Amino acid sequence: MKFKFPIKMGHNPENLIKKCGYGKWHDVKFDKISFTRKLANNNYPRFHVYLTDFENSFEVDLHLDQKQESYGVGHAHSGEYDGDTVLAEAQRITGAIKKVYGM
C-alpha cells in the first residue's frame, strides 16, 4: 500500500517514520534502507516500509511481512500489500504524522 505526505520544514521522512515506531533496517543483500516495526518478539510478522522522497512530498510504501523471504527456486515473499491489517497500520501512520504536523 502506497500513500504520500507533503514534506514540511523542520521534518524529514526518516524521523517521522521513526516517531511511528519503526526502526531503520539495512538489507545488505540488496543494499537498501527500509524501516520495520515488529508485531511480536521475533522478526516476523512485521510491518515493512520503504520511503521515497519527491520534490515536495514523500511516499510511504507499506506492507506486512508474514515470514522471511525465500528467493531462488521456491521464490516466495509472503508480503501482504493490502487488507484490513495493512489499512489499519496505514491509518495509524497517517494519524501519527498528522499529529506531528499539527493537522
pLDDT tens digits along 51-97: 999 999 999 999 999 887 655 554 445 689 999 999 999 999 999 99
Please return the burial class of 70, using the count of CB atoms within 10 Å of its CB with bins 0-12, 13-18 and 19+: exposed
Check if the beta carbon of residue 20 is closer than 8 Å to that of residue 97.
yes
Per-domain residue ranges of the chain: 2-101
Q: What's the distance, CA 13 to chain centroid? A: 11
- As a whole-number percent, the residues of the chain with pLDDT over 90 amount to 75
Q: Mean pLDDT score of the chain, rounded to an integer?
A: 90
Mean pLDDT on 17-31: 92
Q: Is the model's pLDDT at 31 over the cut of 80?
A: yes
d(CA 62, CA 80): 9
pLDDT, residue 40, reads 87
- Grid coordinates given for 15: 524521523
Strand-strand pairing, 57-65 and 2-6: antiparallel
pLDDT, residue 71, reads 54
